[in-house]
Amino acid sequence: MKVYVESESCIGCGLCVSLCPDVFKMNDSGKSEVKTNELSSLESEVKQCAESCPVNAIKIEE
């Protein structure tokens, strides 16, 4: 599984960072980005982040 954030869609609400800080962080532009794609133990949290994103900016590739 691989996850990425569409930066042009991200509004910087920070929900993903608060739900899964081991995977997501805020960048200098105030938008979310992926810190790591080592997701083996965090797959359910990452999926929750993708489902919770208000603008569907988080994408998962299986």
- In the chain, DSSP assigns E strands to 2-5, 24-26, 32-34, 58-61
How much is the pLDDT for 57? 98
- Domains of the chain plus CATH, in order, are 2-61 (3.30.70.20)
| Chain segment 15-46, per-residue pLDDT in tens | 999 999 999 999 999 999 999 888 888 999 99
* pTM for the model: 0.91
pLDDT band at 49 (very low <50, low <70, confident <90, very high): very high
State the greatest distance between any 2 C-alpha atoms of the chain, in Å, as a whole number. Answer: 28
- Give the pLDDT confidence score for residue 56 in this predicted structure: 97
